[in-house]
Every structure is written in structure tokens, then in C-alpha cells.
Amino acid sequence: MTIWPLQARISRHLLFWSALSITGGALLLFATPFWRGVGLQALVWGTVDAAIALFGLLSLRRKQRRPDANELETLGRKARNLRRLLLINAGLDVLYIVVGIAVLDSFTTDFARGNGVGIIVQGGFLLLFDAFYAYQVQRSSKVMA
């Protein structure tokens, strides 16, 4: 077993989430000001997540073509780096949630409060996503060893 299929799954799942976010966000732009704020955040985060996922898939193809791609040392290093990246992202996700709470608490307009909720939703999903996959990488690394 290698880290490559798991890394591909992470990128594909992030791409799926981004498609949901973009679609839902676009639909919410036609709703009340509160939901437009939520929708705006979904659109923005979905677009960024799509870019990250596509970059991950393209980068993965390049990594898999390397001559040492399936050597144990390379696989172990890539797994450690991926897990570290996911854990760093999980820490940032907590920060995003805190920012969303601050926006929600600091502003009184429906649109601004919707943006705060949108940030919390996106940060919350990404926190669960990153933590889950950090655990999956750790688990798969033990299987590879």
C-alpha cells in the first residue's frame, strides 16, 4: 500500500466539497442578506478549495512519475509531510472558526453576520476534514511500515 491513493482521495473529496460550496453559494446569492453572506463565503472558500484540490491532483501525478516514487523512504517522507500539512491546516481551521465567531459577534447587519456564519461553516468542515485525513494518513503509514 502507498500514500498515493490516499492523497488522491483527499484531493477528490476536497474537490467534491468545493463543488458543493460553489453551487450552494451561488444559489444563496439570490436569498436574503443573511444567506447572501453565507453564500458569498461558500463561493469564495469553494473556489479556493477547488484550486487547492486541483493543484494537489496535478502535483500527485508529477510525484508518482518520479523514479523513487514507490521506495519506502520516499513513501514514508511523503506520508509524514502530508500529515504535517493536514495538522497545520487543522490549526488554521480553528483560527478561521474564531475569526468567524468574531465577525458574527462584531457586526450587526444580516449580511455581515451571514459572512461570519459562512466562515464558521467552512472552517468547521475543513477542521473535521483535515483532522480526519491526518488520522487516515497516520493509520495508513502504520500499514505501510
The whole-chain average pLDDT of the chain stands at 93
Output the pTM of the full model: 0.89
Domain count, the chain: 1
Confidence of residue 18 (pLDDT cuts 50, 70, 90): very high
**For helices 33-64 and 4-28, what crossing angle results, to 10°?**
160
**What pLDDT is attached to residue 74?**
82
Q: Which cell is 130 given?
A: 483535515
Contact 132, 81 (CB under 8 A): no
Domain assignment of residue 28, given as a range: 4-144
Contact 144, 1 (CB under 8 A): yes
Query: Picking from 33-42, 75-84, 107-116, which range would have the lowest pLDDT averaged per residue?
Result: 75-84
Element (H, E) at 134: helix 110-144
Confidence of residue 68 (pLDDT cuts 50, 70, 90): confident
